[in-house]
Amino acid sequence: MIKILHRYIVKEFVSSFIFGLTVFSAILLLDQIFQLIDLFLSKGVGFFLIFQLFILIIPNILSLTIPMAILFGVLLSYGRLSEDNEITVMKATGINYKTLSMPIIVFVMFISIGLIYFNHSLSPSTHMYFRTLYKQILTKTPLAKFDEKTITDIGGYRIYAHKVNSKNNTLSGVNIYKFVNDKKNDNKKDIKSDKKNEESVPWRIASSSATVSVEKNVVILKLYDGYWQRSDPNKLGSMIHMNFSTYKFAIPFGDTVDFDDVSLREMTSKKLRAKIKTFQDNDTQIYTYNNEYWFRWVLAVAPIIFAIIAIPIGIMAGKGGKAIGFGMSLGVIFVYYMLLVVALNIGEKGYIPSCYIMWLPNFVIASIGLILFRKMGKK
């Protein structure tokens, strides 16, 4: 009888879990889907490439939505059982809360074990493949990054195009802006003002049209019929203005899409740990890398934490259990991720080691769940 009951509870949970996973994933994927549709319809990128990009996006979304869906599924399933008085009937037959909770806790533990591999290895790898594929798309379709009447950031430059023609890779009404780099100025306070680097002075290029191509991770714009302007705000009357009929301008991808360097999200945890060991103790970058490493562990354990707090809430919900479960799931998710943001900021500044502070949201939610379990057991 107990096995039949466990199968019944797990079946109830799985249906709610799949529904929650679908909803949460669709919400987070919505913006990405619109961008992919734009690449397909407006930029001429092939459907098969778009489909590959979509598949490669999903693992990164699932690492966030699986814990949410666990919470939603547990609250909704136990809330439904409580609302229909099935929990009361089970208790009347002598079944205790431990028996009611155990199948979901065991089931969720297996999901967490899978998430450990998923977050530490699979998700970073797919993210790297995504960027590699995106590089290929940019090489074949250089205008994939440009939208009409929109400012695009590439390699530290801001580019505005009034019109974009994807068929022949041309832009019309082009403006390229380079603003003051404050960080570079801060590092050169000891240099006299009359020896400023040109990059410390804003400048602008305007042209009637431009062709765009990509070669060796560099965006090459061939500009036609325009001018180049540079002026120092501290030296009135120092404007330089030069007209040109054609001008070839190359922009490295830089921080926007740097394909030679692997970003944090693309590094497996094994590589992360190896990279962390190369930093010196006074290197502030170590905080960011430690944050990313422990962030993956925290999200992998989150399903168990969510199950601990969701089971007693769902069982004690009573009438209106499904509605209460839905509302509580949103509330718990909000509190959890707010605490996670706080932990990330504290860890990134190095106030508290990431191996401790990153567990803050899990500790708080688990503590509340255990208190509720104890309260439920006394009933």
Q: What is the pLDDT of residues 220-268, one digit of tens each?
A: 888 999 988 887 666 666 678 888 899 888 887 644 444 445 677 888 8
Intra-chain end-to-end CA distance of the chain, in Å: 24
188 pLDDT higher than 70: no
d(CA 43, CA 316) in angstroms, rounded, equals: 53
What is the tens place of the pLDDT at every residue in 316-338? 876 665 677 677 888 888 999 99
Which tokens is 203 given? Answer: 């400048």
Mean of per-residue pLDDT scores for the chain: 82
Quick one: pLDDT at residue 198?
47
What is the tens place of the pLDDT at every residue in 303-313? 999 999 998 88
Helix (H) or strand (E) holding 66: helix 47-83
What is the tens place of the pLDDT at every residue in 50-60? 888 889 889 88
The per-residue DSSP string of 197-244 comes to: -GGGS-EEEEEEEEEEEEETTEEEEEEEEEEEEE--TTSTT--EEEEE
**Which band of pLDDT confidence, cut at 50, 70 and 90, is reported for residue 359?**
very high
Quick one: pLDDT at residue 157?
83
Q: What is the pTM of this model?
A: 0.74
Quick one: pLDDT at residue 219?
81
